[in-house]
Homo-oligomer: A and B are copies of this chain.
Amino acid sequence: MKENLIAFLTTSSLVTPEQAAEIAGHFSFREIPKNAFFLEEGKIANNYLFLEKGFMRVFAHDIDGNDVTTGFAGPQQVVLEVSSFFNRTRSQENIQALTDCEGWGLTYDELNQLFHARPEFREFGRHILVKAFTTLKTRMLSMITETAEQRYAGLLNTNPAIFQHAPLKNIASYLGITDTSLSRIRKEFSKK
């Protein structure tokens, strides 16, 4: 039942299979139907989620009120608004299900209890945070050094599934361009 969660916990090799099974025991099943919000801006994130099925989109609003996609999440990934969750502050971001989603979750209190009781899960938690940070740094570097077309090609390569679930305008803002430009880039790209 929780095989995927257990497997995920052990991949880092910071947690043994036995430990993973016990840790997984504390997670509860969560369903988020399509279009429902896992987190709404203005609220304090209280849920840590291991996403097993489905896709989600993370987005914020810029000064003019425009919708800006800051991230996507897919199966076998942790979904978490780090800042709001750990600092207990109001989130500036929304997390919405692009498709029907299923996964395993912890509340803030549950996670802290588990961090306290399970040093290896604490290490695992740090590992996840470091990974998210590294991923974001890589994305920042690609934002600085690559053209929009290169970033598009990169996303198509690393996360092709997103194109089947998110509208292009969301993908465009994630890439830092307008939907108009993305459309043109796709046209050029398909010629090659």
Q: For the complex, is A87 an interface residue (Cβ under 8 Å from B)?
A: yes
Docked CA distance A132–B68 (Å): 21
What is the interface size of chain A, counting residues whose CB is below 8 A from a CB of the partner? 28
Q: For the complex, is A7 an interface residue (Cβ under 8 Å from B)?
A: no
Most chain B Cβ neighbours within 10 Å, of A82, A143, A144: A144
Main secondary structure of the interface of A (DSSP, over half): helix
Contact segment of A33-41, A43-51, A133-141, A159-167: A133-141
Find out whether the CB atom of B87 lies under 8 angstroms from the CB atom of A137.
no
Q: For the complex, is A83 an interface residue (Cβ under 8 Å from B)?
A: yes
Docked CA distance A178–B46 (Å): 42
Beta-carbon contacts under 8 Å, A52-97 to B: 60, 62-63, 66, 68, 70, 82-83, 86-87
Pull 5 A–B residue pairs with CB atoms less than 8 Å apart, ordered by A. A62-B141, A82-B133, A83-B130, A122-B122, A133-B133
